[in-house]
Amino acid sequence: MNQNACKSTMKRFAAGIALVLMQSAAAVNAHAQTTIIREGNANVQLFDDNWKFSRYGLQPDGTKRPEPEGMEQPAWNDKDWTKLNLPHDWAIAGPFRIELAGKTGKLPWKAIGWYRKQFTIDKKDKGNRIFLDFDGAMAYAKIWVNGQYVGTWPYGYSSFRMDITPFVKTGQTNTVAVRLDTESWDSRWYPGAGIYRHVWLVKTAPVHTDHWGTTITTPEVTDSAATIQVAVKVSNQSKVTAQSKVTTEIFECTNGTQIGQQVGAIQETPVKVLADSAVVVANSIHLKQPQLWSLEKPALYIAKTTVHTNGSKPDIYYTTFGIRHLQFTARQGFLLNGKRTEIKGVCLHHDMGALGAAVNITALRRQLRIMKEMGCNAIRTSHNPPTPELLQLADEMGLLVWDEAFDAWKKPKLKNDYNKLFPEWHEKDLLALVHRDKNHPAVIIWSIGNEVMDQRDTALTHELAAIVQHADPTRPVSNGYNDPDGGRASGAATYLDIMGVNYFFSQQPKWDADPRYADKPTMGSETSSCVSSRGEYFFGTKYDHFQATSYDEAWPGWGCSPDEQFRTNAKYPHLLGEFVWTGFDYLGEPTPFNSDETNLLNFRTDSSKRKELEAALDAIRKKNPPSRSSYFGIVDLCGFPKDRYYNYQAHWRPELPMAHIMPHWNWPERIGQNVPVHVYTSGDMAELFVNGVSQGKKTKRPGEDFRLVWDSITYQPGEVKVVAYKNGQQWATDVVRTTGKMSKITLEPETNFLQADGTDLCYITVRICDNDNQLVPRSAVNLKFSITGPGEIVATDNGDATSFVPFSSTARPTFNGMAQVIVKGKKGHPGKITVSVQTDEGLQGSSTTVEAK
């Protein structure tokens, strides 16, 4: 019998094996294919439907509505409340208001929100434990059941469990009430508002695998064999000592949730658990010929843990995990399964553009797919715990994750940010993150913070790093510094396993030579911060009418071009890689048109730069910018690639033959004037032709050039063509042409089918085209969308960071020729859905049909 606490059996990064019971893969039987609903206790159901919602405190128009007392009581009359299903973001419907903060998207997210739901629990569940698992609720959640207070979890990004067993009546109607308060929260970006992630109802036997109660590690991994260490925390919530038996069977996992072939099992282990206590049972198993989790082939396994206790039904718990080996080195970078893997990452905030913060797995999958196609292999969950689905998708799709906890510690960036919660909650929130996410193979690095004001605080860094290292000794801990020299000089960074550097690499050689840091791997935890607006090109200026040029020549004082960052990376090839700020545009923080104070935070140490920035900020404030979402994205808020996308693709996917020309070629006002042409290509040389005439060949200097530039092209309408070469062979071409007049509107769905489950989405791209189906680049046409069949238009967008048209509107202009419609099917109603578009601006309407299945 092994009942070791899991922590005592593991070493950091290379856990030893606590033996253990073994069984060879060949000796076990196949298992009938089933699908798990989600990781964790098997008796789980989604608790999202049929909630009632009412908003108090600040209203969308800025007025105040008093909050009455007694709304947690079952008898409260909620007849007039809004009926809805979760996840729900009460602020995304808007309206955008010019006087609201740009940093949080000019959306009215501050309010007090109340949610209520009635539910029944079967008589036969008497004696079982009943829990509500919240994936995340923004913010200051307080929960009551049947009028009795259950508990609170203030940090809106943490997942948490409420044990409602003592308050629930079996065989009767129960009422749960949730109060959320975003008025007490401050944020540097749009945080969303409401129960914006899923809620789950979980039922277990009194003796069961605890919440996030399994820890699966793979301390020894080779191509031919792996050791899988399984620690199960068995919790006894009964009043008597339990004599239980624990087994864990291991299965292959297909499609992320399907239980496939059984490959091994840990034989039954008896365990004695005293009343109201928990015991960890740790075992190992050897697996021959394991399928390793890698970026190319992200193989997954499912562990099915069963706790048998006399007098109870067996308690079943599922854990998805992967077998892979991580090594972080100061000289050779990061090695995944022994293979040097440069981290080509992006930072992502948690919103999903026009959908706001309300989690949708199709939207998340799409975000990750777009990033992966660019060659991105890693996501930084800036700057908070992500929704669990993000990790599930990263596991399935083969993406690495830098999993981050906080944007503030004790010292505030904003008055009511995490500093208010820090004293009481930092340990609980950190543990909630690590315990929840520890089995995801995608998660490779924990981050305790981002540019926190106390980043030089040695004791605090030590304390936070130790909490994480203790909870998970198998992964490194990092912190993102915007004052990396201060962080290192103070000694704070010695407590980290990985040094995270945001933007400032100039002192890298000095620290590489310092004995305290020479062996510390370093990560570009945030890089570039280039800003651009899709389809906007300026000559002689970087910014105009609150847009940023797409020549990728604009960034704030702390940032640089992607090209410059690639040059820096080439100079320090021993670094682990980079996380670009950001992959997607996001709601809020519309730098350089962010008139709020948060920009100043980037220059705490350089007083002259800070002064410059203060002056710039004053100037912006005078202009009262309408900007409400970021310009940092490599893709816009719709997910439409900006030109930068092709810069990253050229660099990150060198094997993909591609070339991309910018700008477009519709400049009637610049005939005879200069229009520079830039080309991103994965080739090493290219020749440019304007109207068939060669403009000469340009060659990239390795490690120096990441775009090819023809600066002195004189504009004449017609055609620009580039022919790229690699190693002397023709490699890729691209062409842009002066288009004809606008003549049609095209609607292009990204998928032809969607699930009729009330969740799945279909994204439709709208383009204004000429007769030859070419996008008319600068067109702004007012469009009206309509829908027939079993579906609804949930949002529209066009990627314009200054638009005040609410996302829920079915009328929207195109921005530089493009717009987007997001459609959802009706639950349980398969059929054909037709989306149509009309305009009063002289173009024929059109339509497209997708099928809900």
CB of residue 666 to ligand GAL, shortest distance in Å:
31
526 catalytic, yes or no?
A: yes
Residue with Cβ nearer ligand GAL (183 or 596):
596
Residue with Cβ nearer ligand GAL (349 or 435):
349
Q: What is the four-CA torsion angle of 190, 191, 196, 197, rounded to 10 degrees? A: 120
Q: Of 451, 536, 578, 589, which one is the catalytic site residue?
A: 451
Residue with Cβ nearer ligand GAL (450 or 549):
450
597 catalytic, yes or no?
A: no
> 677-681 and 659-662: which strand pairing?
antiparallel
Residue with Cβ nearer ligand GAL (451 or 497):
451
Dump the DSSP string for 281-315. Answer: EEEEEEEESPPPB-SSSB-EEEEEEEEEETTSPPE
Determine if 527 is a binding residue for ligand GAL (CB under 6 A): no
The length of the chain, given as a count of residues: 853
Determine if 528 is a binding residue for ligand GAL (CB under 6 A): no
Q: 716 to each of 665, 670, 720, how far by Cα in Å?
A: 9, 8, 10
What is the Cα–Cα distance from 503 to 489, expressed in whole angstroms?
Answer: 17
Tell me which of 602, 647, 738, 798 binds ligand GAL, using CB under 6 A.
602
Tell me which of 581, 603, 667, 731 binds ligand GAL, using CB under 6 A.
581
Q: At what angle do helices 361-373 and 388-397 cross, to 10 degrees?
A: 40
CB of residue 582 to ligand GAL, shortest distance in Å:
8
User: Between 529 and 548, how does the x/- string for binding to ligand GAL read (CB under 6 A)?
Assistant: x-------------------
Per the listing, tokens 């130790």 go with 466
Tell me which of 72, 526, 643, 797 binds ligand GAL, using CB under 6 A.
526
CB of residue 848 to ligand GAL, shortest distance in Å:
37
Tell me which of 214, 229, 238, 450 binds ligand GAL, using CB under 6 A.
450
Determine if 187 is a binding residue for ligand GAL (CB under 6 A): no
Question: 287 and 299 in contact (C-beta within 8 Å)?
Answer: no
Tell me which of 218, 309, 482, 774 binds ligand GAL, using CB under 6 A.
482
User: Between 194 and 233, how does the x/- string for binding to ligand GAL read (CB under 6 A)?
Assistant: ----------------------------------------
**Among 114, 119, 154, 162, which Cα is nearest to 137's?**
154
CB of residue 464 to ligand GAL, shortest distance in Å:
17
- Which 247-276 positions form the footprint of ligand GAL (CB under 6 A)? none
Is 506 exposed, middle or buried (CB count within 10 Å of its CB: 0-12, 13-18, 19+)?
A: exposed
Determine if 629 is a binding residue for ligand GAL (CB under 6 A): no
Q: Of 39, 526, 536, 589, which one is the catalytic site residue?
A: 526
Residue with Cβ nearer ligand GAL (343 or 762):
343
- Which 658-717 positions form the footprint of ligand GAL (CB under 6 A)? none
Tokens of residue 375, six digits: 């060659």
What is the Cα–Cα distance from 765 to 820, expressed in whole angstroms?
Answer: 5
**Among 481, 478, 407, 475, which Cα is nearest to 442's?**
475
CB of residue 632 to ligand GAL, shortest distance in Å:
6
What is the Cα–Cα distance from 31 to 51, expressed in whole angstroms?
Answer: 38
Per the listing, tokens 């109340």 go with 114
Determine if 451 is a binding residue for ligand GAL (CB under 6 A): yes
What is the Cα–Cα distance from 331 to 325, expressed in whole angstroms?
Answer: 18
Q: What is the size of the binding site for ligand GAL (CB under 6 A)?
A: 13
Determine if 351 is a binding residue for ligand GAL (CB under 6 A): no
Q: Cα 529 from chain centroid?
A: 17
Residue with Cβ nearer ligand GAL (581 or 785):
581
Tokens of residue 249, six digits: 């069977």
**Among 259, 338, 257, which Cα is nearest to 294's?**
338
What is the Cα–Cα distance from 398 to 698, expressed in whole angstroms?
Answer: 36
Chain residues binding ligand GAL by CB under 6 A are 383, 450-451, 482, 502, 526, 529, 556, 559, 581, 589, 591, 602
Q: Known catalytic residues? A: 451, 526
